[in-house]
Structure 1
């Protein structure tokens, strides 16, 4: 998620520098090439998280449900929903990519226009959902941090724990 944020920040800087005041690129081709690279880099950064993402979401939802109300940020429920929706869509797009890749001519390998164009299209379709993860993924860390700092529901709180001296006399 941190890598994705760095990629997004670099893209924003590039876009600011290479567009006019209305947001139109100075050079459509160069801008498109750079956007395609952003999409590919973001997809690659997410790969390390892809297989554990469902588990991370489930863990965060469980943690959130057990946090004391005064420690919960109101945006966390919304952010987890955005992450879940984005992950659902990313999984659908991944399945579509696998079908597209399997339907390519046998000569279409990485580095050939057929393969690279299809992959670039897949990355472009996936980018906004990957951006959701880059933008809202920090909620997973925030919820985990809050859960780790919250008093355990299993251990007695110090105010409720029996005084050792009193307990020993009984």
Structure 2
């Protein structure tokens, strides 16, 4: 279960996305009038830009480690886990995570391509276009980050439970193997080989008989 080493990073990333969302929700209402229109377009826009940037930073952690954890979780989960039990609901929440990760990875790839085209530009121009490109990527990426805000915690919970279950079952399996080994006929102590019989001593010749 090498994938389990990524669970802390994914848990932190999921929390980071939710923190970015909660921080924006806490102030966005106060930036609008009674009809929901921004009181100051720039202030409102800057707030969304920050939210999107913070969320995308954490979404990229899922792009780096999520596929490996997802594959490991699916390999470790049993059929009954999908029907009932403590992770059945979370497993259902993962049904769309493949699409989320795929689309987000495509977005990151597109942004990398844009930055490659800008390579060699004047520093002042590069900085301007890079800032705009990042803002566009983060705005597009907010949708995927939002999806991961509830798919991600589900993946982490499943991974933690399956890892704990494996740790719990391993000692029992080891003990069963030990008991089976001790009962194996190959491990029954062999009987000590019988001592070779000592031939009887020859009878002494009768008196008066020649040897």
- TM-score tier, shorter chain, comes to 0.7 to 0.9
Offset at residue 126 of structure 1 (A)? 0.8
- Work out whether 1:126 is the aligned partner of 2:141: yes
1:142-161 alpha-carbon deviations (Å, 9 max, x no partner)? 212332247749946xxxx7
- Counterpart among 153, 156, 167 of residue 141 in structure 1: 156
Contact 1:67 1:146 survives alignment (8 Å):
no
TM-score scaled by length of structure 1: 0.77
TM-score scaled by length of structure 2: 0.64
CA distance in 2, matches of 1:131, 1:5: 8
In the alignment, which residue of structure 2 is the partner of 1:71? 85
In the alignment, which residue of structure 2 is the partner of 1:9? 22
SS of the residue corresponding to residue 71 of structure 1 reads coil
Contact 1:71 1:146 survives alignment (8 Å):
no
Offset at residue 99 of structure 1 (A)? 1.4
- Work out whether 1:52 is the aligned partner of 2:103: no
- Counterpart among 109, 113, 121 of residue 128 in structure 2: 113
Contact 2:91 2:158 survives alignment (8 Å):
no
1:99-137 alpha-carbon deviations (Å, 9 max, x no partner)? 111223612569822210111101111111012112221
Structure with more relative contact order (C-alpha pairs < 8 Å, separation 6 or more): 1
* Structure 1 unaligned spans of 5+: none
In the alignment, which residue of structure 1 is the partner of 2:201? none
| Structure 1 residues 72 and 119: alpha-carbon distance in aligned structure 2, compared to 1, 3 A threshold | same
SS of the residue corresponding to residue 5 of structure 1 reads helix
Larger radius of gyration: 2
Contact 1:90 1:126 survives alignment (8 Å):
yes
Offset at residue 65 of structure 1 (A)? 3.2
* Further displaced range: 131-140 or 75-84: 75-84
In the alignment, which residue of structure 2 is the partner of 1:29? 42
How many residues align? The count is 164
* Further displaced range: 93-102 or 106-115: 106-115
SS of the residue corresponding to residue 84 of structure 2 reads helix
